[in-house]
Amino acid sequence: MTDISAQPTAGPLRRRVDTTSPEAQAAVRRRYRSEARFRTYGLLAILTAAVFLVVLLIDIGARALPAFTTTSLQLNVAVPSDLVPADQKNNPAAIRGADFLPVMREALKTAIPGVQGRGPERTLLRLLSPGAPDDLRERLAANPSLIGTTLKVPLLLSATADLYFKGAGTPINTRSSRGAATPSGTTGTITVSAPGNDFSENLVTVKLAVAERAQALAAEAERTARSSAPNAAERANELRAEAAAMAARAKDTAAAETLDSRLPSLLVEINGGLVKVSQLAADRIEGDVLLPLASTNEAKASDWRIVTYVTPESSRKIGDQEVAFLERFKANGQVEKGFNWRFFTSGDSREPELAGIRGAIVGTALTLLVTLVLCVPVGVAAAIYLEEFAPKNRFTDIIEVNINNLAAVPSIVFGLLGLAMFLNFFGLPRSAPLVGGLVLALLVLPTIIIASRAALKAVPPSIKEAALGVGASHQQAIFHHVLPLAMPGIMTGTIIGMAHALGETAPLLMIGMVAFIVDVPTSVTDAATVLPVQIFLWSDLPELAFKAKTAGAIVVLLVFLFVMNGTAIWLRKRFERRW
Amino acid sequence: MKMDMTTQGIQAAQPYVAAKSSTASKVVARGVNVHYGEKHALKDVSVDVPDQAVMAFIGPSGCGKSTFLRCINRMNDTIPICRVTGKIEIDSKDIYDPSLDVVQLRARVGMVFQKPNPFPKSIYENVAYGPRIHGLAKSKTDLDEIVQTSLEKAGLFKEVKDRLNDSGTGLSGGQQQRLCIARAIAVSPDVILMDEPCSALDPIATAKIEELIDELRSNFCIIIVTHSMQQAARVSQRTAFFHLGILVEEGETETIFTNPRDERTRDYITGRFG
Amino acid sequence: MTAVYFITLACLVIAGYFIAAQRAKSLRAAPGAAFHSLPTYHGMLAAVSLFVPMVLVFAIGTPIVKHLATSSVFSFFPPEVANDPLQRGVVLRDVGNILDGRHQGEPSATLRSAATSFAHVLSTGRLIVLGAGVALGIASLLLVLSRISATFRARNLFERFVIAALVLCALVAILTTIGIVFSVVWETYRFFFDPTLKGRPTVTDFLFGTEWNPQAALRADQGDIKTAYGFIPLLTGTLLITFIAILVAGPLGLFSAIYLSEYATPRFRAWAKPILEILAGIPTVVLGFFAALTVAPLIRGWGESFGLDIASESALAAGLVMGMMIIPFISSLSDDVINAVPQSLRDGAYALGATKSETIKKVVLPAALPGIVSAFMLAISRAIGETMIVVMAAGLAANLTLNPLDAVTTITVQIKTILVGDQEFDSAKTLAAFALGFVLFFVTLVLNIIAQQIVRRYREQYD
C-alpha cells in the first residue's frame, strides 16, 4: 500500500497503447497473420485425420472388391449314368461322395476340343477350383433323375483364374496380318511361315529389348567391377562378355531370335488355333501349339492374327497356356461373374476361392453373446452399487480407481489373464467362444460400468426423491424409476462396449482362437475363430487372392461396427432427455 | 419442559419450546438436532403439529425449516453425512425407532417437493405407483378407484380424465404439482409434508394449490415450508418461525403475524431481513 | 447331470416362489394386522433362499465328487502311477475314453475296473450332491415359509440379498485385477526363480541384456541355439515406435482439439467429431493390415526413390499408423480439458486485447497443461500396449537400433509370437512372455495412475 502511494501519480507511468503509427499497425498485422496461421494448423490437423480415414476406407474398399464377386465357367456337363452304382441312385450321400473329377475333365475337353497330352490337360483341369463340382453335386443330390443327362452348370474357377479376370492378368494386343501364312501342323511344335514378312516389326521390338538388356548387363558389370566382393573382377568379366554377345545379337537385325519368359509373349492365332512363338524370324516363326489348329491350310491375309500378351510370363502368376484357355472360354461366352455368396455361407478354407467368413461370423456371434450375457448384468449391477448404494469409504474408492485403471490396461494383458487363469488354471477348452467371451467380458466391463454410472448419474435425484416420498424403498426407487430412465444411456454404453469387443483381436490370439477351423461352430465350447482374428490369419497368408478376402472380411467387420455405432448414436439422439 | 410464557420475550436467545403437548397433536418433536458433517444445521427443535390443520414453517433461507421437514419422513437418511438426534413421534410412535421400517413411515408421511417431480410415466402410473408398492389395491378396479379418488381430491381429475395414459411430464407446472399431491394422497398418508410446493409455479397455479391445501386440511395433517409469508398467512392455522437452525417462535398463525413475541420474528415479518 | 441339477433348481425356485407368494396372499386376505411386505417379496425371498444354498452345494460338491472319483481310479494303480503327473494324465484320459466308448483296442482289466469305479463314484456322488442340494434348499424354503406373517420383513431381507449380489458384481472388477496381477506375477516369479526351469535368466540379465532370442531348446542336440532374454532391444523398439506415434499424434491431436473447441462452428464440429470417433473405432487389426499392405510399401517406395534402404517392416510405418490411431484419443481427452478451462480466464485475456490464438497459447493451454500432459501419458500407455498394428506391420527381429527405417520388435509382438501356437507352462520361453506382460502391465499401470492423479487434481482446481 505504502509503496504504491509513494509513487508519483503522473508522468512516465501513463503510457498508452499506440494504435496509429505504422510500426504498431505492422505489429497488429503480424499478430493477425500468426492468428490465421495458428487457425490453419488446427484445420490441417483435422483434415489430416479425415484424409487418412478416407484413404484407409477407400484403399480397403478397393482391395475388397474382388472378394465379393466370383468367376465360374458355364459349361455343359454330361453326367455319366454310371456316376454312382445303380442301386445307390437315390442316395444323396453316395451322389455327394462320387468322383466328379472325370466328369469335370470331360466337360472341359468338350469345351475346348483337341487338347491333348497330360500337361495341357492337367493345366486345363487346374483352372477349376477343387470346389467346382459343388453346385453340380448339390443339384444331382437334390434331383437324382438328372444323372445320365447333360446339364449346364457353373463350375467355379480357381483363385488364379478368378484373379485373371479381375485384372491380375495381362493386357493383350492383337494385330492383323498383311500377308498369308501357312502352319506346318495342328498340334505339338509347328512352324508358321508368312512370306510377307509379317513378323518383322515383332523382331525389331525383340531386338530392341535385347539391346536394352545388353546395356543393363554392361552397367551391372561395371558395378560389380567397382564392388569389393572377393571375385568381383572375375564376375565382371563374365558379365562383360555376356553383354557383348547380347549386343552383337541385337545388332544382327536379320537373325532369328529365341523368345524367353522375360519378354512379352508372342502368339499367332491361325486356323482356329493358337501358337506360342518360341523362335522368331521376320518371315516365319516356330512355336508350341496352345490351342489346336483346325487344319494346315494356308490362312489368307487378315484371316490370322498376331497376338501379344504384354506382361512377360515371368512377371505374372498365370502362364500363357492358362491365359490361352481362359481367353478361349471368354470368347465362347462361357465365363460368368456373379456375387460371391460362398464368401458368406462357407467356413474357412485353404483355397482362397472357397474360403468364407461364415465360421468367423458365427464364432463372433457366439463370443459376443457370452460377453453380453456376462458383462451387462455384472456391469450394470456394479454401476448401480457404486453409484447408488456404496458408502463413501476407502474400499469403494479402491474399487473406483481400480475400474478406471482396468479400462486402460492393454488388451493383450487380458489375453494373458485368460491364458493363465481360464485355460491353465480352470482348464476351460482352448479356442472356445466361451473363453473368448469371458476374456472380452472382463475387457469391456470397465467401459460398461463407467457408461452405466454416467447414465445413472444423469437421472435427476428428484425422481428418486419422489419415489422415496411415496414410501418406496431405496431399491424400489432405483429399480422402478432410476434404472429404467438410465436404460437408454446404459444401452448406448453397452453397444459401444460390444463394438469395442467386436474389434478386439490380441487377447483372443492368446487363448488360441487362431487355429485353422473349417467347421462352423455350433456351441460356445466348440473351437472357433472370430472375424478380426480371421482377418489377421488371412492377412498372413501369401496367396494374393487371400489379400482380397482379408479386405472383404474387413469390410464386413467395418459394416458391423458402423451399424452398431450408428445404433448407439441413434439411441442417444432418440432417447436423450434433458432434465 | 414447561416454560413461563411471560419470560419468553426476555429469553429471546433461547430456542422456543412448545407449550404442553395437546392430545390432538399428530406430530410431536422434542429436542431435534441435525448435523451435516461438522455443520450444526438444526438446534434443539421441539414442536407439536396438530392434526387436521395446516402448519407453516417460515424463515429465511438456510434456517433449517426444510431440514426439519425432511426429518419428519426421514428423508435425511439418504444423505450419508447427516446425523439426526432427538425424538420425533407421530401418533405417539417414535419414528426413529430402529425397529420401524422407514419405508412404512414414508407411506404414512407423504411428501410434495419444491419442484414438481412427476415420474416420467403416465398420469395413471404416477398415482398408482404408491398403492401398488404398498399393496393397497386388491384388484385392478380397486386401483382405478384409488387413482380416480386421489386425482379428484387433488382437483385434477376433471382436467386429465381423458388422458390418464399420457405422460405426467406433459402437464403444466401447476398440474404437475397437483399430480404430485395426488400421488402423495393415493397412499392415504396421515401427514403430508410440502417443501415450498409453489415456489416453481405462477400465481394462478399457486392459488389453485393453496385452495387445494385448504381443502385437504380436513383429512390430513399438513406441514408446509414456505418462503412466502402471505402464503403462510393464507393457508396455515399455525406457524413456526425458524432462524439459524433455531425454532424461534411457534403459535397460531394470526398471533405470529399480528403480534409476534420475538423480536426476530417481528423483524422477519416486517421485512427487515429475509 | 449338470443340466438335471439346474433344471431341478429352476423348477424348485419357481415352485418356491409361488408357494410362498400364495401363502402370504392367503394370510393377507385374513382380516387383521397390516402386512409388512407384499406377497411378491415373500415369494422372491423364498426363491432366493432356495437358490443360494443349492448353487453353493453344487459349487462345493462337484469338485469334491470329481476328486473322489479320481482317487478311486488310482486306488487300482500302484502309487508310482498316481504320483507321476504324466502317467496320471494318461490313465485319466484312458478312463475317459473307455467311458465314452472311444478306447482304442482292448483295455486292461485294471483299467476297466478303474473306469467302472470312476463312473460309479461319479454317478453316486452326483446323486448325493443333488440330494443334498434339494434337501438343503427345501429346508431353507420351509424356514422361510414358516416365518411368513404380517410382521415378517421379507422385503428387507430380500433387499439385503440384492445388495449382496450387487457388491459381488462390483467385486468382479477387483477380482479381475487380482487375477491379472496373480497370473503375471506368479509366472514372472517362476521365470526368474523357479529352480526346475532350464535356461532361466537372472533379473539383471533380463533387464539389461541387449540380446533377445527366446529359443526354447527342445532337444539336447539343438544345444547350439543360444537363448537370450535381454529385454533392452524390445524396450528400445517399443519406445521407438511409441515415439514416432506420439510425434505424429501429439501435434495433430492437440491442434485438432484446439480447433474443435475454440474455432470450429457447431456445424463443423458436427462433422469433424464423428470422423474422429470413426477413426477411434477402427479395429487395430484393420489398421495393421493397412499399415502392412499400403503404408509400408509406400514408405519403402519413397525411400527407394531417395536412395534409402528401408526395411519392409520398418518402425516408421507401424509408428505412423499407430499415431493415426492415437489422434482421436489425444484430441478427445484434450478437448475435454480445454473445455474445462473456465470462460472467465479467456474473457480476461480478450479484455486485454489478446487475439484468440494468443489467448489459447498464453492462457488456455497453460491452464489446461496438466490435463494435456495426462492425455499424452494415457496415449503413450495406449501406444505401448497396442498389439495388432505392430504384430502386422513391425518385425520380429530384435534389433537394438534407434533408426526408424529399420525393423524393430516390441514387447507386445514378442508376447504374441511366443504365446500363439502350442506352449507348455514349464518352459522358460513361455514364462518369458508373462514376464514381458508383467512389465507391460506395470508400466501402463504407473502411467495411468499418474495421469489419473493429475486429472483429478486438475478437476478439483476448476470445480
Residue A475 sits at φ, ψ, to 5 deg, of -65, -40
Cα dihedral A406, A412, A418, A423, rounded to 10, equals: -170
Question: Do the chains contact at A391 and B118, CB–CB below 8 Å?
Answer: no
Residues of C within 8 A of B103 (CB-CB) are 155
Q: Which of A45, A389, A413 sits opposite C255 (nearest CB)?
A: A45
Say yes or no to pLDDT of A251 above 50: yes
Is residue A357 helix, strand or coil?
A: coil
- Closest by CA to B125, choosing from B153, B160, B166, B157, is B166
* pLDDT given at position C287: 93
Q: Judging by DSSP bridges, how do beta strands B39-50 and B221-225 pair with one another?
A: unpaired
A517 and A356 Cβ atoms separated by less than 8 Å: no
| Min distance A538 CA to chain C CA atoms (Å) | 10
In terms of Cβ atoms closer than 10 Å to its own Cβ (0-12, 13-18, 19+), residue C265 is: exposed
* pLDDT given at position A13: 61
What are the angstrom distances between the C-alpha of B61 and each of A190, B225, B227, B243? 112, 11, 8, 9
B228 and B198 Cβ atoms separated by less than 8 Å: yes
Q: If you average pLDDT over every residue of chain C, what do you get?
A: 84
C-contacting chains (≥3 CB pairs under 8 Å):
A, B
| Min distance B24 CA to chain C CA atoms (Å) | 24
Question: Which three cell numbers mark B119?
Answer: 415420474
DSSP C456: H
- Closest by CA to A344, choosing from A133, A164, A129, A520, is A520
Cα dihedral B241, B242, B246, B249, rounded to 10, equals: 0
* pLDDT given at position C33: 56
Number of A/C CB contacts below 8 angstroms equals: 254
- Closest by CA to C296, choosing from C379, C395, C384, C380, is C395
**Surface of B (115-154) touching C: CB under 8 A:** 133-135
Say yes or no to pLDDT of A138 above 50: yes
* pLDDT given at position B13: 38
Say yes or no to pLDDT of A384 above 90: yes
Residues of A within 8 A of B73 (CB-CB) are 469
More confidently predicted of C109 and A556? A556
CA angle A277, A281, A283 (to 5 degrees): 105
* pLDDT given at position C218: 52
* pLDDT given at position A579: 57
Question: Which three cell numbers mark A322?
Answer: 492358362
- Closest by CA to C152, choosing from C19, C52, C28, is C28
Among the four given CATH numbers 3.40.50.2000, 3.20.20.70, 3.40.50.300, 3.30.2130.10, the one describing domain B27-120+190-269: 3.40.50.300
Residues of B within 8 A of A577 (CB-CB) are 120
What is the spatial distance between Cα A218 and Cα B215, in angstroms, rounded to a whole number?
114
What is the spatial distance between Cα B16 and Cα B242, in angstroms, rounded to a whole number?
10
Question: Which three cell numbers mark C165?
Answer: 449380489
The low-confidence residues of chain B, meaning pLDDT below 50, are 1-23
Say which range, A10-14, A70-74, A353-357, A454-458, has the weakest mean pLDDT. Answer: A10-14
Reported residue count of chain C is 463
Question: Do the chains contact at C385 and A411, CB–CB below 8 Å?
Answer: yes
What is the spatial distance between Cα A104 and Cα A140, in angstroms, rounded to a whole number?
14
Question: Which three cell numbers mark A401?
Answer: 480407481
* pLDDT given at position A523: 81
CB contact, 8 Å: C330 with chain A? Answer: no
Per residue in C263-313, pLDDT (tens digit) is 988 899 888 888 888 888 899 999 999 998 889 888 888 888 887 777 778
* Structural domains of chain C sorted by starting position, each given as residue range(s) with its CATH number in brackets: 2-152 (no CATH), 228-462 (1.10.3720.10)
Residue entry with cell 526395411: C311
Q: Note down pLDDT in tens along chain C; length 463 residues.
A: 678 888 988 998 899 888 888 888 887 776 655 677 788 888 888 888 888 888 899 888 888 888 888 888 888 887 777 777 677 777 777 887 787 777 777 777 788 888 888 888 888 888 898 899 889 988 988 888 888 877 788 888 888 999 999 999 988 888 898 999 988 888 888 888 877 777 777 788 788 877 787 765 455 455 555 677 888 888 888 999 999 999 999 999 999 999 998 898 889 988 888 888 888 889 999 999 999 888 988 888 888 888 777 777 888 889 999 999 999 999 998 988 888 888 888 888 888 888 888 888 888 888 888 889 989 999 999 999 998 899 888 877 777 888 888 888 888 988 888 888 666 666 777 888 888 999 999 999 999 888 888 887 877 766 6
Say yes or no to pLDDT of A3 above 80: no
Say yes or no to pLDDT of A34 above 80: yes
Say yes or no to pLDDT of A574 above 70: yes
* pLDDT given at position A578: 60
Say which range, A196-210, A250-264, C3-17, C203-217, has the weakest mean pLDDT. Answer: C203-217
Is residue A269 helix, strand or coil?
A: strand
Number of A/B CB contacts below 8 angstroms equals: 69
* pLDDT given at position C422: 64
What is the spatial distance between Cα A530 and Cα A441, in angstroms, rounded to a whole number?
15
Q: Which residues of B239-274 are buried (b: 16+ CB within 10 A; e: fewer)?
A: bbbbbebbbbbbbebeebbeebbbebbeebbeeeee
CB contact, 8 Å: A578 with chain B? Answer: no
| Min distance C38 CA to chain B CA atoms (Å) | 6
Residues of C within 8 A of B105 (CB-CB) are none
Q: If you average pLDDT over every residue of chain A, what do you get?
A: 85
Q: Which of C38, C153, C156 sits opposite B135 (nearest CB)?
A: C38
* pLDDT given at position B7: 37
A-contacting chains (≥3 CB pairs under 8 Å):
B, C
What is the spatial distance between Cα C445 and Cα C441, in angstroms, rounded to a whole number?
6
Across the range A147-165, mean pLDDT stands at: 84
Beta bridge partners of A269: A274, A305
In chain B, which residue's Cα lies nearest the Cα of C41? B133
CB contact, 8 Å: A386 with chain B? Answer: no
What is the spatial distance between Cα A364 and Cα A447, in angstroms, rounded to a whole number?
20
What is the spatial distance between Cα C253 and Cα C370, in angstroms, rounded to a whole number?
16
* pLDDT given at position B19: 43
The one-letter amino acid at C272: A
CB contact, 8 Å: C25 with chain B? Answer: no
- Closest by CA to C158, choosing from C253, C247, C242, C48, is C48
**Surface of A (421-460) touching C: CB under 8 A:** 421, 424, 442, 445-446, 449
- Beta strands (DSSP E) in C51-135 are none
* pLDDT given at position A366: 92
Residue entry with cell 387413482: B147
Residue A277 sits at φ, ψ, to 5 deg, of -75, 130
Choose, out of B101, B113, B119, B185, the residue to mutate when testing the contact with A (most A CBs < 10 Å).
B119
Residue C59 sits at φ, ψ, to 5 deg, of -65, -35
- Closest by CA to B126, choosing from B184, B199, B200, B212, is B184
Question: Do the chains contact at A503 and C285, CB–CB below 8 Å?
Answer: yes
| Min distance A538 CA to chain B CA atoms (Å) | 51
Q: Which of C35, C153, C156 sits opposite B135 (nearest CB)?
A: C35
Residue A80 sits at φ, ψ, to 5 deg, of -65, 145
Is residue A385 helix, strand or coil?
A: helix
**Surface of C (124-153) touching B: CB under 8 A:** 153
**ipTM > 0.85 for the complex:** yes
CB contact, 8 Å: C16 with chain B? Answer: no
Domain ranges of chain B: 27-120+190-269
Residues of A within 8 A of B117 (CB-CB) are 460, 462-463, 465-466
